[in-house]
């Protein structure tokens, strides 16, 4: 009996861990986008970055001479070509706090493209470039 339980426990332990990294893992910098058909240029005075691990993200604003600030944090899940993001922290008041937003995502070379229709009806297409 003991001999048959040990392999079962070993298999269960192996199944409990994920060995594959998320394709989003790393640091991505905003390069602009399109909101409701209008071009939205990346800001020149500061940088917006998102740092993804396998389950969470944190968004930072980086301005020369200023302390880097985390302005947003959240959790995400990937299913096929869809990313479900839930904002868990926002530096400012946010109507998206604790709401899950569905994005279609495409990674091509070092560019991440996020597409969605937000709860307020805005159609967004964001471009992020992997910097780390």
Q: Tokens representing 33?
A: 């986008």
- 94 occurs within a structural domain: yes
The per-residue pLDDT for 2 is: 58
- 13 occurs within a structural domain: no
- 86 occurs within a structural domain: yes
CATH code, domain carrying 34: 2.40.128.490
The per-residue pLDDT for 20 is: 76
pLDDT digits (tens, 9 = 90+) for 34-75: 999 999 999 999 999 999 999 999 999 999 999 999 999 999
pLDDT digits (tens, 9 = 90+) for 106-123: 999 999 999 999 999 999
CA angle, residues 10, 54, 79, in degrees to nearest 5? 90
- 50 occurs within a structural domain: yes
The per-residue pLDDT for 99 is: 96
- 5 occurs within a structural domain: no
Q: Which residues form the domain of 88?
A: 21-130
Residue spans of alpha helices (H) in the chain: 2-16
The per-residue pLDDT for 13 is: 43
Burial of 50 (0-12, 13-18, 19+ CB in 10 A): buried
């Amino acid at each position: 009996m003991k001999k048959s339980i040990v392999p079962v426990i070993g298999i269960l332990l192996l199944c409990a861990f994920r060995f594959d990294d998320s394709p989003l893992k790393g640091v991505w910098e905003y390069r602009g986008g399109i909101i409701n058909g209008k071009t939205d240029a990346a800001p020149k005075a500061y940088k917006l970055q998102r740092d993804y691990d396998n389950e969470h993200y944190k968004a930072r604003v980086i301005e020369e001479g200023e302390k880097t600030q985390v302005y947003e944090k959240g959790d995400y899940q990937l299913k096929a070509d869809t990313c479900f993001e839930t904002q868990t922290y926002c530096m400012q008041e946010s109507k998206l706090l604790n709401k899950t937003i569905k994005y279609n995502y495409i990674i091509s070379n070092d560019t991440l493209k996020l597409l969605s229709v937000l709860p307020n009806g805005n159609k967004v297409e964001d471009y992020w470039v992997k910097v780390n």
